[in-house]
Structure 1
Amino acid sequence: MADLPLDRLAVLAGRSFTVTDLPGGLTNVNVRVQSTDEVDPPLDLVVRCSGNDPGLLDIDRDAEHRNTAAAAEAGVGAPVLEYREDLHMLAIGFLPGHALVDADFSDTDVLTRAATAVRALHEGPRFVNDFDMFARQAGYLATIKERGYRLPSSYDAYAEDWTEVQLALAAQPRPTVPCNNDLLAANFIDDGTKVWLIDYEYSGNNDACFELGNTANECQFSAELTEAWTEAYFGDPTPADRARVRLQALCSAYGWSLWGFIQSATSDLDFDFWSWGLERFERAAATFEDPSFDRLLGEVVDG
C-alpha cells in the first residue's frame, strides 16, 4: 500500500489523507482514502489499483472506466472521480453499506433489493463493449493450451455439451443489456435501503440471464433460491426464463473456471486459484451430467 502513488491523483493533490486496505479483489488492490485536512468538502473515495498486464484475462481497463461511469448514471454504481490509465488507477466514491455474503441472499428483502439494482443496471445506459462467455471461454482455453497451463483432464469431455448450450441459447436470442458479468456477493453493497453494484472489470452488454445465472453460480444458490432470484428479477418468469438462467449459471461455472486455472499458473497472490477454478468446473460438470440438462436445453429452444 505504501508504494501506491496516490498523491499523483488530481483529486488528492495538495490534500492530506489516510489510506485503509479494503478486503477482496483477486486482480486489483483496493484502498479507501479519506481526507484528514479541513478542506470542504471532505473526501471519501476508493482507489482501484490494477496490474500492468491484464492481457491474459482479457480485461479492458478503458471499458471498465467508462462502464463504471455508465453504472453511476444508471443510479446503481459509485461516481467516477478520476481515471489515470498511466497509473493503472480508478478513483470512485465510497459507498456506505456492507458487502453481501452468500448467506445474505436467503433474506427476501435483501434478494429483492439486489434484483432491483440489477434491473436498474440493465435498464441504464448501454456499455461501450460487449461480453460473450462463449468467446471468452474459447480465448481462455486457447491461452491455457498454448502455454501448457494445468487443466482438469476431463474438461474437454464436455465440449459437445458446451456447443449444445451455445446453440440452444442462440436459437432464441435476446437483446443484450449492460451487465456487470461478475456479480458475486461481495460486489453487492447493501445500505439497508438500497443495493449498489461495484466492480465493472468484466462488464459489457450481455444476456440479462447470464447476469442472474452468474450470481446464482458464484453465490452457490440452491435450486429453490435460484427460482426465487429469477422471480425477483422477472416478476412472473416463463419456463424459458427459468431454464435460461440455469443454463447461464452453467456457462458461468464452465467459463470462469478457466479464469481460475490461468490465475493458478500466473498469479503471485497467496490464493488457491486452482481449487477456486476446480470447484466451478465440478459444479458445471454436475449440471452437464444432470438428468435435467436436456430438458433445460429444450425449454430454452422452445422459448
Structure 2
Amino acid sequence: MTSVLDLNYRIDENDIFETAKDIIMKVKPSWNRSNLNFKVFDEGITNKLIGVFQESSIGQAKDVVLIRVYGEKTDLIIDRNAEKKNMAELFEAGLCPPLYATFENGLAYGFAQGVTLDEKTVRDETIRKLIAKEMARLHTVQPKHISSKSSAMFDKLRAWFKIIPESFSKPEMNDKFKKKIPSKEKLEAELLELEQCIEGLGYPSVFSHNDLLLKNIIYNKEEGKVTFIDQEYGMYNYQPFDIGNHFCEYAGIGDVTDYSLYPEEEYQLSWIREYLEEWSKLTSGPAVTDTDVRKMYCGVNKCALAAHFFWAVWGIIQAKFSSIDFDYLEYAVIRFNEYFARKEKFLALQ
C-alpha cells in the first residue's frame, strides 16, 4: 500500500491557509511555498475543504492537493480511522484519488479532475450509465480492514440515537425541533419497523459509499469516467442502499431541494438494469432477468426511505454541533417529511 504521512499539525478552521502551506510542503516538497494558490470549496456541509496548486487557476493545474478540515464534533458521527483505511484501499483498487497525509483534524489527498454533477447532468444518459457501472465496481470491493461483512447502517443509527440532542439553546431552533421533529420514542419505533422490513428482503451486504450526492460524483468527459469522492461514510450496507440514496440526491441539497425530481419508475428500472448487468459481469453471475430488476427496484425504494431517515438523524446532530453555515435542522425536517410522505407507497412495493 502507498505510504501515508502522519503529520503533527492542527488547522484552525478560521485560519486555514498558513498551516495548509506547512502541510503541502511535507506532501509536495518540490513545490514552491511562495507560489501556492488556493481554491475554497464551499459546497460541503460536513467539513471545510480547500484545493492547493501551483498554477494561476485550478482549471490549469495538472496537480492539485485537497486539504479537508474536519467539521466540529464530526468524530461523533464519523469513524475517521475507518475513513482513512477506506481511502487507502479504494485507491489501491483504482476507485478513488490517493491519500497523501493525515493530520490532527484532517486529511490531505488527491484531486479527481472533472466537474461535479447537478440535477440535469446526473440524468445525462452517458453519465448515468457510468455511475451505475462505477457503483457496481465499488460494490465488489472487499476492504481488508473491515472484519464483519454485515450491514452496519442500523448499528450506526442506534449509536447516533444516543447523541441526538434533547433540546437546543436558541429558542427558535428549539421551537422548530419540538414541533417538527418526531419524538425520540416515535423515531425508535420507526427505526425498528424499517430495520425489520429491509432485513426481511434478504439482500446481500456490500461495501457502499453511502453518500453519493451530486457533488460527490466527478465526471471527466475526456477520460469518459466518473469518480466517487469523500469516503467518510463508507461501510458495508444493503446492496440497494447506495442506489436508493443516490436517487434521493437527484433532488439537490439546501435551498434548492426538490423531491419532485426523484426518478420515476421507468427511469429507475433502466438504471437498475445497467447496474445489475455490470454487477453480474463483475461477479460472473447469471444473466439479468426482468424479475431481478423488479426485485431490486422494490429494495431500492425501501432503502430510499432508510436514506431519508439516516440523513434526517444526521441533520439533527449536525444542527447541535456543526459550525458550518447551513440550516441542518431544516434539512432534517425536509428529510423526515419526505420519509413520511413516501413511506406507505414504498413499503407496499412488492
What TM-score do you get using the length of structure 2 for normalisation?
A: 0.74
Q: Deviations over 1:250-296 (max 9, x none)?
A: 00001210111121222222211122111111110112233x52x33
| SS at 2:240 equivalent | helix
CA distance in 2, matches of 1:29, 1:124: 28
| SS at 1:234 equivalent | helix
Residue of structure 2 equivalent to 1:258: 313
CA distance in 2, matches of 1:244, 1:143: 29
1:126 aligned to which of 136, 143, 154 = 143
CA distance in 2, matches of 1:154, 1:134: 18
Question: Does the 8 Å CA contact 1:115/1:232 hold for their aligned counterparts?
Answer: yes
Question: Does the 8 Å CA contact 2:245/2:303 hold for their aligned counterparts?
Answer: yes
Residue of structure 2 equivalent to 1:183: 212
CA distance in 2, matches of 1:23, 1:52: 16
Q: 1:242 offset after TM fit, Å? A: 1.0
Residue of structure 2 equivalent to 1:28: 47
Residue of structure 2 equivalent to 1:44: 64
Residue of structure 2 equivalent to 1:111: 128
2:110 aligned to which of 89, 93, 98 = 93
1:154 aligned to which of 170, 173, 182 = 182
Question: Does the 8 Å CA contact 2:117/2:218 hold for their aligned counterparts?
Answer: yes
Residue of structure 2 equivalent to 1:234: 276
**1:252–1:105: structure 2 CA closer, same or farther, 3 Å change rule?**
same
**1:94–1:112: structure 2 CA closer, same or farther, 3 Å change rule?**
same
2:326 aligned to which of 250, 253, 271 = 271
CA distance in 1, matches of 2:263, 2:138: 24
Residue of structure 2 equivalent to 1:202: 233
Counterparts of 1:290-301 in structure 2, within 5 Å, are: 290=345, 292-293=346-347, 295-296=348-349, 299=350
CA distance in 2, matches of 1:3, 1:53: 23
Residue of structure 2 equivalent to 1:39: none
Counterparts of 1:40-79 in structure 2, within 5 Å, are: 43-51=63-71, 53-56=73-76, 58-79=77-98
CA distance in 2, matches of 1:207, 1:3: 42
CA distance in 2, matches of 1:127, 1:21: 34
Q: Which amino acid aligns with 1:97?
A: G
Q: Deviations over 1:86-115 (max 9, x none)?
A: 2x2322222111011122222111110111
Question: Does the 8 Å CA contact 1:111/1:232 hold for their aligned counterparts?
Answer: no
Q: Which amino acid aligns with 1:118?
A: M
| SS at 1:32 equivalent | strand
| SS at 2:164 equivalent | helix
Question: Does the 8 Å CA contact 2:273/2:293 hold for their aligned counterparts?
Answer: no
Q: 1:66 offset after TM fit, Å? A: 1.2
Q: 1:159 offset after TM fit, Å? A: 4.8
Residue of structure 2 equivalent to 1:138: 158
Question: Does the 8 Å CA contact 2:38/2:50 hold for their aligned counterparts?
Answer: yes
Is residue 2:26 matched to residue 1:6? no
Count of residue correspondences: 289
Return 4-13 or 106-115, whichever deviates more: 4-13
Residue of structure 2 equivalent to 1:169: 198
Q: Which amino acid aligns with 1:8?
A: I
Q: Deviations over 1:150-174 (max 9, x none)?
A: 3534355465454233112222433
Question: Does the 8 Å CA contact 1:32/1:44 hold for their aligned counterparts?
Answer: yes
